[in-house]
């Protein structure tokens, strides 16, 4: 049973190429030879196989108990015979007696080979399982390999991952050979090897993509507090900065929107709203409904419900297409959201008058109301530049105390007059809302299904 240096060289090659520990190979050889030898000696004999780790020499031993008088020759050996092998043996010891396996021929060798190959496959499977188990809840890059009914198999290098139909982004087309980034949902150890399930729809995919793209998130300066997502359409993400000198939303957006655009491209154009997280629920819910403005937010901690009032002309914007904006805001904040327009709220006593936002918060003194006052004070020729008047109104409302609305009006009138004089009465483009019969300018809101531009 002499072995050559070729066996040890083969072990070294397997270890380097397949990442299998040499010790596991030695143990596999010993186990396979033990199985082969027991076929010759039978189950009644205690057989031990040892392979020298340095020389590769294999020795087979029959293990027998040392006794004064032998009653079972298969299990026992006389003391004088044992001491002939090793003078240190005493009664009660277990003596290792070198034996040459009988009929250790082609069949036994083939059996040993099969066991070794099985051990090698098990070792490779365990290595792969441990490697990909560590990648659970992480993002990996793979190549679209093939399609199995509605499932997609993606090559991750050493293994294929499965992306079930329910984890595929609606509207995305997957083509053979495409490189895609996927989120590892779970890794299961099966008899056929590790089973890796991946996703393109999980909210954590967005979080990991931002971690890879934004150093402030990766190092913990900026924390992603909450994410709500409808894959393929829109994601809302609330962020918080632990460093007062770092602006959380700005860090995620990047210079000229570079960072967020990288993530948007990876998600094939999915819209991403990034807002500042707040420990104060009213502020958080108000921000979550952006780009809509809120006039009031009343929360019920017991039921985790929130009543929200928005300007009449922004009710559709707050709710979103098919309710998407409100739905995502509810998931993001964890509150059940009930939204009404200001006119509806006041007509039904939806909330108490004192619940409307006051100084330093979004005002109940709405832009359309202020615009009417400015119109009366300054005349129709001043109200034309809608965009700049709206900007002036917003600034005036924030800065003016609640008990001095006249100051806000006066400041707006002055600003509008200056604008009119400077541009000699050039008209700004605005939108007309058929439902409310008002002209508005808002970069986020399409007031009608077919908004028209008009000049007053």
Q: Rounded to a whole number, what is the largest CA-CA distance in the chain?
A: 126
Query: 203-273 architecture in CATH?
Result: 2-Layer Sandwich (3.30)
Q: CATH 3.30.300.20 region(s) of the chain? A: 203-273, 278-364
Is residue 261 within 8 Å of 330, Cβ to Cβ? no
Q: Please determine, looking at this structure, whether the domain spanning 278-364 carries the CATH number 3.30.300.20.
A: yes
Which of 98-107, 108-117, 256-265, 372-381 has the least mean pLDDT? 372-381
Label residue 377 by pLDDT band (50, 70, 90): very low
Q: What is the pLDDT of residue 432?
A: 42
For range 302-310, the mean pLDDT? 92
Give one DSSP letter per residue of 136-172, joined into a string. Answer: TTSEEEEEEEEEETTEEEEE-SSSEEEE-GGGSPTT-
For range 411-424, the mean pLDDT? 50
For range 229-249, the mean pLDDT? 94
**pTM reported for the whole predicted model:** 0.62
Q: What is the pLDDT of residue 286?
A: 92
For range 49-57, the mean pLDDT? 80
Is residue 366 within 8 Å of 342, Cβ to Cβ? yes
Label residue 381 by pLDDT band (50, 70, 90): very low
Is residue 20 within 8 Å of 124, Cβ to Cβ? yes
Q: CATH 3.30.1480.10 region(s) of the chain? A: 5-130
Which residues, including other chains, have CB under 8 Å from residue 312's CB and lie 6 or more apart? 341, 342, 343, 368, 436
Q: What is the DSSP letter of 68?
A: S
Which of 261-275, 394-408, 433-447 has the least mean pLDDT? 433-447
Q: How confident is the prediction for the chain on average, in pLDDT? A: 77
Tens digit of each residue's pLDDT (9 = 90 or more) over 164-194 = 999 999 989 999 999 999 999 999 988 888 8
For range 14-18, the mean pLDDT? 76
Which fold does the domain 135-201 belong to in CATH? OB fold (Dihydrolipoamide Acetyltransferase, E2P) (2.40.50)
Q: Is the pLDDT of residue 163 over 90?
A: yes
Place of tokens 């928005």: 310
Label residue 407 by pLDDT band (50, 70, 90): low
Higher pLDDT among residues 24 and 263, named by residue: 263
Q: Is the pLDDT of residue 118 over 90?
A: no
Q: Is the pLDDT of residue 380 over 80?
A: no
Q: CATH 2.40.50.140 region(s) of the chain? A: 135-201
The strand pair at 47-51 and 430-433 is best described as: unpaired
Higher pLDDT among residues 372 and 344, named by residue: 344
Task: Tell me what percent of the residues of the chain surpass a pLDDT of 90.
Answer: 39
Before 291, cis peptide (omega within 30)?
yes
Q: Is the pLDDT of residue 250 over 90?
A: yes
Q: Six-digit token pair at 112?
A: 């040993």
Is residue 134 within 8 Å of 196, Cβ to Cβ? no
Query: 5-130 architecture in CATH?
Result: 2-Layer Sandwich (3.30)
CA dihedral 226→231→232→233, nearest 10 degrees, is -50
Rounded CA gap, 187 and 437, in Å?
58
Of 404, 409, 414, the C-alpha closest to 367 is 409
The strand pair at 336-341 and 305-310 is best described as: parallel
């Amino acid at each position: 049973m002499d072995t050559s240096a070729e066996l040890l060289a083969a072990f070294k090659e397997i270890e380097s190429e397949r990442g299998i520990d040499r010790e596991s190979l030695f143990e596999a050889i010993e186990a396979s030879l033990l199985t082969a030898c027991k076929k010759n000696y039978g189950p009644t004999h205690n057989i031990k196989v040892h392979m020298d780790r340095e020389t590769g020499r294999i020795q087979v031993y029959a293990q027998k108990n040392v006794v004064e008088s032998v009653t079972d020759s298969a299990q026992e050996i006389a003391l004088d015979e044992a001491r002939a092998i090793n003078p240190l043996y005493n009664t009660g010891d277990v003596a290792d007696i070198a034996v040459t396996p009988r009929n250790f021929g082609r069949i036994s060798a083939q059996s040993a080979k099969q066991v070794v190959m099985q051990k090698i496959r098990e070792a490779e499977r365990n290595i792969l399982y441990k490697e990909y188990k560590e990648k659970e809840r992480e993002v990996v890059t793979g190549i679209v390999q093939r399609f199995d009914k509605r499932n997609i198999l993606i090559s991750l290098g050493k293994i294929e991952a499965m992306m079930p139909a329910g984890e595929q982004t609606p509207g995305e087309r997957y083509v053979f050979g495409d490189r895609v980034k996927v989120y590892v949902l779970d890794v299961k150890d099966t008899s056929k090897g590790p089973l890796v399930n991946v996703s393109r729809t999980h909210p954590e995919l967005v979080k990991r993509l931002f971690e890879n793209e934004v150093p402030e998130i990766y190092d913990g300066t900026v924390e992603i507090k909450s994410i709500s997502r409808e894959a393929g359409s829109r994601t809302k993400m609330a962020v918080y900065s632990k460093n007062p000198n770092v602006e959380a939303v700005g860090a995620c957006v990047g210079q000229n929107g570079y960072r967020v655009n990288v993530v948007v491209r990876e998600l094939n154009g999915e819209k991403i709203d990034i807002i500042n997280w707040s420990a104060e629920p009213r502020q958080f819910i108000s921000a979550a409904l952006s780009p809509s403005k809120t006039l009031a937010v009343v929360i019920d901690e017991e039921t985790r419900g929130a009543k929200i009032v928005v300007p009449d002309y922004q009710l559709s914007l707050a709710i979103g297409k098919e309710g998407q904006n409100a739905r995502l805001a509810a998931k993001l904040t964890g509150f059940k959201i009930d939204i009404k327009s200001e006119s509806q709220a006041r007509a039904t006593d939806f909330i108490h008058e004192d619940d409307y936002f006051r100084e330093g918060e979004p005002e109940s003194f709405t832009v359309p109301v202020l615009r009417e006052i400015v119109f009366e004070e300054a005349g129709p020729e001043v109200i034309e530049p809608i965009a700049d008047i709206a900007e002036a109104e917003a600034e005036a409302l924030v800065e003016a105390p609640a008990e001095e609305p006249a100051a806000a009006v006066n400041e707006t009138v002055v600003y509008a007059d200056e604008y009119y004089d400077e541009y000699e009465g050039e008209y700004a483009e605005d939108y007309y809302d058929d439902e409310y019969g008002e002209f508005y300018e808002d970069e986020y809101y399409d007031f009608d299904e077919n908004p028209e531009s008009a000049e007053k």
